[in-house]
Amino acid sequence: MSIYDLIIRNGYVVFPDEVKKADLAIRDGVIVKVGDHLDGKANEEYEADGQHIFPGMIDVHVHFSEPGRAHWEGFETGSQMMAAGGCTTYFDMPLNGIPSTIDRKALLEKGKIGEMKSVIDFGLWGGLVPGNIDELEDLAKSGVIGFKAFLSATGNEEFERADDFTLLHGMKKIAELGKVLALHAESDPITQWFKQDKEKNGLFSANDYAATRPVQAEAEAVGRAITYAELTGCPLHFVHISSSLAIGKIESAKQKGLDVTVETCPHYLLFNQDDLIEKGAVAKCAPPLRGREEQERLITCLMEEKFDMISSDHSPCPYELKDPAIHNIFEAWGGISGGQFSLMSMIELAVLHDIPLHKVAMWTASAPAKRFGLSSRKGQIKHGMDADLAIVSLNGTHEVSETNFFAKHKQSVYMGHTFPCQITATINRGKIVYQTDVISEWERGEWLKVIDSGIAVNN
């Protein structure tokens, strides 16, 4: 009689403080034993053969744009693409779909679609926009991960930027609800002022675009948000931070004891403004890819552990919205499609800069789980946790091509990039959802509702 569903043998397991060879036994989707040469039988054995076993990535920041704009990505291809990159849980942002996730009805509609289509687990953010303060409590009670607001224009007419009064009111309410507010922090006046100047003078090059969103615009917005957090007690999470200037402000806030975390995205660490000039709109994002020196400063910040976590900010669109024959760089959709590549990117950076692999696991799994209420079940490989795993070969390489990129639209700044590793399998709660270029399309993930700082049961 078999006592386990699955045993994974001879992998180098990436634990919180070390990498060590171990076997993992899994039953009912949970890791029930970790050790050397495990006894016992299993329905299935997986020979990891010296490959590395990371905790499945928890990507706190993706845009699948469904309902309403599923032709941009959607939960089906979106979740499959994430699985192919070693991700087992993602959080979908409240904008780019129609309707935006700014009330309970929209949240439940999106959650239902996710449950029908997602091959891995997921959580959903709620939005903070002018006029929806009264919806925040319902959203919190319905299990949103946290709330998201923009300090600059969103590029999306269904999701309005939060003015300062909305921010102050919203932060007070979100603090009372025990949630975190995630912020896109760039100054609207600074970015608009530069943009108007470029438009007036007919300057539309990649460098002109980058110049409209300087690091000072990010640092100003971060500083203002921190002041508001001091006044309201609201926990903050800064998304896709792209400058050491902003990091300096966040470090000071942390030293003061404020409840603040910060993510950056692999594209700010692997690419720079030269890629925007060379590749055009596929490399357009906001904040923009920075110059080479700033990129190096960001890598130093990473090595000094000034970033708490890494997210992809996967933000895809149909090809025509980035087509240079139709749109100049200012008009093109801003967003990098790269949700599949975050874990491999961080492993590449670890290899290049001699960063221990357990830190990669911290940035991609344990820190996001802890910050957003998932750590009772997710984020680490240990007894009693969900069997969410990414099996990675450090011997193989992965060259990004149209055939092995699972997003709906294949344009990406990562196209042609070669990673010094390969995701060979992804396991979500004990089920193999991805193995060497094949997705198990019939697997279904769970909508993780976070209520009272933990995953709600029976959801």
Residue among 149 and 389 whose Cβ is closer to Zn ion:
149
CA 197 from chain centre, in angstroms, equals 33
Stretch that binds Zn ion, among 82-90, 140-148, 306-314, 398-406 (CB under 5 A): 306-314
CA atoms of 417 and 438, how far apart (whole Å): 21
CB of 63 to Zn ion, least distance (A): 6
Angle at 80 between CA 76 and CA 84, to 5 degrees: 170
Question: ∠ CA 301-391-238 to the nearest 5 degrees?
Answer: 30
- Min separation Cβ 167 and Zn ion, Å: 18
- State yes or no: 237 annotated in a binding site: no
445: Cα within 13 Å, side-chain hemisphere: 31
By CB under 5 A, tell whether 313 contacts Zn ion. Answer: yes
Stretch that binds Zn ion, among 213-221, 308-316, 324-332, 405-413 (CB under 5 A): 308-316
**With binding defined as CB under 5 A, does residue 443 bind Zn ion?**
no
Q: How many residues does the chain have?
A: 459
Is the Cβ of residue 76 or residue 313 nearer to Zn ion in the bound state?
313
Residue closer to Zn ion (CB basis): 286 or 361: 286
Q: Tell me: is residue 323 an annotated ligand-binding position.
A: no
Helix, strand, coil percentages for the chain (3-state, nearest 5): 35, 20, 45
Stretch that binds Zn ion, among 97-105, 161-169, 186-194, 307-315 (CB under 5 A): 307-315
Residue 348 in contact with Zn ion, rule: CB under 5 A: no
Cβ proximity of 434 and 84 under 8 Å: yes
Q: Are 356 and 410 in contact (CB under 8 A)?
A: no
Assigned token pair, 336? 């990098």
Mark 44-73 with x for binding to Zn ion (rule: CB under 5 A) and - for no binding: ------------------------------
> In the complex, which residue's CB is closest to Zn ion?
313
Of residues 31 and 269, the one with the C-beta less far from Zn ion: 269
Nearest approach, Cβ of residue 428 and Zn ion (Å): 23
Q: Which is nearer to Zn ion, 94 or 379 (CB)?
A: 94
Q: Which of 12, 37, 118 is nearest to 390 (CA)?
A: 12
CB atoms near residue 139 (< 10 Å): 27
Is residue 92 involved in binding Zn ion (CB under 5 A)? no
Rounded CA separation 16/344 (Å): 18
Binding segment for Zn ion (CB under 5 A), chosen from 75-83, 157-165, 312-320, 358-366, is 312-320
Q: Considering only 5-13, 74-82, 148-156, 305-313, which stretch makes contact with Zn ion by CB under 5 A?
A: 305-313
Contacts of residue 254, defined as CB under 8 A and 6 or more positions apart, other chains included, come to: 260
Least spacing, CB of residue 265 vs Zn ion, in Å: 9
Whole-angstrom Cα distance, residue 166 to residue 102? 14
- The CB-of-59 to Zn ion minimum distance in angstroms stands at 11
Total number of residues binding Zn ion (CB under 5 A)? 1
* C-alpha to C-alpha distance for 422 and 177, rounded to whole angstroms: 41
| 63 is annotated as contributing to ligand binding | yes
Q: Does 263 sit near Zn ion (CB under 5 A)? A: no
CA atoms within 13 A on the CB side of 432: 16
CA distance 209 to 7: 52
DSSP classification of residue 314: B
Determine, following the binding rule CB under 5 A, whether residue 121 of this chain makes contact with Zn ion. Answer: no
Q: How far is the CB of 148 from Zn ion (least distance, A)?
A: 8
Tokens, residue 217: 């615009």
Q: CB of residue 317 vs Zn ion: minimum separation in angstroms? A: 12
Closest of 357, 358, 351, 432 to residue 396, by C-alpha: 351
Q: How far is the CB of 444 from Zn ion (least distance, A)?
A: 25
Quick one: 62 or 360, whose CB is closer to Zn ion?
A: 62
Q: Which residues contribute to the annotated binding site?
A: 61, 63, 148, 184, 240, 313
Binding site for Zn ion (CB under 5 A): 313
Q: Which residues contribute to the annotated binding site for Zn(2+)?
A: 61, 63, 148, 184, 240, 313
